Chain A
Amino acid sequence: DADVTQTPRNRITKTGKRIMLECSQTKGHDRMYWYRQDPGLGLRLIYYSFDVKDINKGEISDGYSVSRQAQAKFSLSLESAIPNQTALYFCATSSRGATDTQYFGPGTRLTVL
């Protein structure tokens, strides 16, 4: 089984709808991240969490919120989706070590019409 899983893998929704993307991990890592990737823009960090009680904004958090329900679960919500949130979303995890080697999920392709 995959160590980092994301659901759903694909989602098409309409402007104004609330969407939740979920991430689960079995790696036992403390740290979890949400990124979005757009063509030509690379990975951009939305939110990250170093443990269950620690949530931090990334470089593009506007329009997004997160919840760290447990060490293994980190969900990303779009409260009111807009078309420019159409992107590929990745969850990643890393352990609390001297080097932040990240392990990525398979991604969620989100389309907002």
Chain B
Amino acid sequence: SQKIEQNSEALNIQEGKTATLTCNYTNYSPAYLQWYRQDPGRGPVFLLLIRENEKEKRKERLKVTFDTTLKQSLFHITASQPADSATYLCALGIGGYQKVTFGIGTKLQVIP
């Protein structure tokens, strides 16, 4: 069956370090992958999209990689700040105008 796996354990990291979050998938052939940020009690907010033919995408301090051979995406936040503390969700899209499917999310805590 199709599965999207994100580390359900919280990730604690020191301020200033690079945070790396992982999204693995099985039995999917995604055309693209998205990352969202969710703050407690609020709706997720779209951050970045990367397509299957792209290896890497950057936006300010954010970087996303997509390895279709490993079936994995990595989400990096460089020079992390306490304000980056949130839950980050990946979502996979298979294209063909189909809806995306969300992973469970990983909670990031940046410690001052």
Contacts and interface: CB of A to CB of B under 8 A. Distances in A.
Interface string A98-112: 111111111101000
B49 A99 contact: yes
Interface stretch (B16-24, B61-69, B72-80, B97-105): B97-105
A90 B32 CA distance: 23
Given A99-B49, A100-B98, A100-B99, A106 B89 contact: no
A103 B42 CA distance: 12
Contact of B100 (A42, A100, A109): A100
B99 A98 contact: no
A38 to B, nearest CB: 11
Interface in A65-103: 88, 90, 92, 94, 96-103
Contacts of B49: 99, 101
Interface string B78-112: 00000000000101010101111011110000000
A96 to B, nearest CB: 7
A96 B97 contact: yes
Interface string B16-60: 000000000000000010101000011111100100000000000
Contacts of A34: none
Contacts of A45: 99
**CB-based closest 9 A-B pairs:** A104-B43, A42-B104, A100-B100, A43-B102, A100-B99, A90-B43, A104-B44, A101-B46, A100-B93
Interface of A: 4, 31, 33, 40-43, 45, 48, 88, 90, 92, 94, 96-107, 109
Given A48-B99, A107-B42, 17 more contacts: A31-B99, A42-B89, A42-B103, A42-B105, A43-B44, A43-B89, A88-B41, A99-B34, A99-B49, A100-B93, A100-B97, A101-B34, A102-B100, A104-B43, A104-B44, A106-B42, A109-B41
